[in-house]
């Protein structure tokens, strides 16, 4: 089964919907909701949160086989939808932890299927460089990511992190920060616009929580090529319903 490409463009931001189910029956229910007539136009890609899958949240399992099997099922159910496969560690706000060696093995196992349009790699993970290399060895693009749940770094630091992800070899650079004031929301947007001017890869940026929710709609104006929105459960604070986000993005595009 060929992988559907993960194409991102800030002029028309993609809507990525998280799949957060804990087991295969729940996962199939979430996919069914996406495939329904009412929901089919609200998403461009899905992010499967592998760290929320039962074999990993049950106790840090290191066997990638259940994840590989589940990825095959998702790809079977969503043959035309790009899949971003993500194992989010607890340090970055995720639901489970595995050893650095198991993390590297999981990245390789998922990439080797050819079914993920892209693999998320936390750029500060101790095995990040190797994970990027192993994904590329299987011809799978990488979304390098960083999540700050404690605050919003200065503009220069956000720009430096996004640049570092590109220099590390990622095909997409993603950062999510936490604002404490409206001014910090502007910091994220300013940093996005600055990096977008010279970046050679697409960016995905957002301010999390209710205060930063506006960035999930207006990000494309500043250079963010995708936004995460929900059909069902959210995977991060501040995510908005996908149908509403689609309507808002369509409305913004009418300004042209």
**pLDDT tens by residue, 87-120:** 999 999 998 889 999 999 999 999 999 999 999 9
> Looking at the predicted structure, is the pLDDT value of residue 179 above 70?
yes
pLDDT (tens digit per residue) in 207-221: 999 999 999 999 999
User: Of all residues in the chain, what percent carry a pLDDT higher than 70?
Assistant: 91
80 vs 17: CA distance, rounded Å: 14
Please tell me which residue in 43, 125, 174, 196 is annotated as part of the active site: 174
From the candidates 22, 125, 138, 147, give the one annotated as an active-site residue.
Answer: 147
Mean pLDDT of the chain: 90
pLDDT at res. 230 = 84
Please tell me the pTM assigned to this model: 0.92
pLDDT given at position 147: 95
Query: Do residues 189 and 150 lie in contact, with contact meaning Cβ atoms separated by under 8 Å?
Result: no
- pLDDT higher than threshold 60 for residue 163: yes
Cα(256)–Cα(247) distance, rounded to whole angstroms?
16
Where do the domains of the chain lie?
14-253
> Residue 243 — pLDDT band, cuts 50, 70, 90?
confident
pLDDT at 85 over 70: yes
Is 174 part of the annotated catalytic residue set? Answer: yes
Give the per-residue pLDDT at 43.
85
CATH topology (fold) of 14-253: TIM Barrel (3.20.20)
Q: In this predicted structure, what is the pLDDT of residue 37?
A: 46
pLDDT at 36 over 80: no
Residue 130 pLDDT > 70 = yes
Q: Can 147 be counted among the known catalytic residues? A: yes
């Amino acid at each position: 089964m060929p992988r559907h490409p993960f194409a991102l463009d800030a002029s028309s931001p993609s809507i990525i919907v998280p799949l957060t189910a804990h087991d295969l029956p729940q996962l199939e229910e979430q996919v069914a909701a996406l495939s329904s007539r009412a929901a089919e136009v609200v998403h461009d890609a899905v992010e499967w949160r592998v760290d929320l899958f039962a074999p990993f949240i049950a106790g840090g399992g290191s066997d990638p086989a259940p994840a590989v099997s589940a990825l095959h099922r998702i790809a079977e159910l969503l043959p035309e939808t790009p899949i971003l496969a993500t194992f989010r560690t607890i340090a970055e706000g995720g639901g489970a932890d595995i050893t650095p060696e198991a993390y590297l093995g999981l990245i390789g196992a998922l990439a080797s299927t050819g079914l993920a349009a892209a693999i998320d790699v936390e750029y500060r993970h101790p095995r990040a460089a190797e994970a990027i290399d192993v994904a590329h060895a299987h011809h799978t693009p990488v979304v390098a990511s960083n999540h700050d749940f404690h605050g919003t770094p200065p503009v220069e630091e956000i720009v430096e992190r996004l640049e570092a992800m590109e220099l590390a070899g990622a095909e997409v650079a993603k950062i999510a920060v936490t604002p404490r004031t409206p001014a910090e929301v502007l910091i994220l947007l300013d940093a996005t616009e600055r990096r977008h001017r010279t970046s050679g890869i697409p960016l995905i940026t957002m301010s999390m929580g209710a205060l930063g929710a506006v960035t999930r709609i207006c990000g494309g104006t500043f250079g963010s090529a995708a936004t995460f929105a929900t059909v069902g459960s959210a995977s991060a604070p501040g995510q908005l319903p996908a149908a509403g986000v689609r309507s808002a993005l369509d409305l913004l595009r009418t300004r042209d």
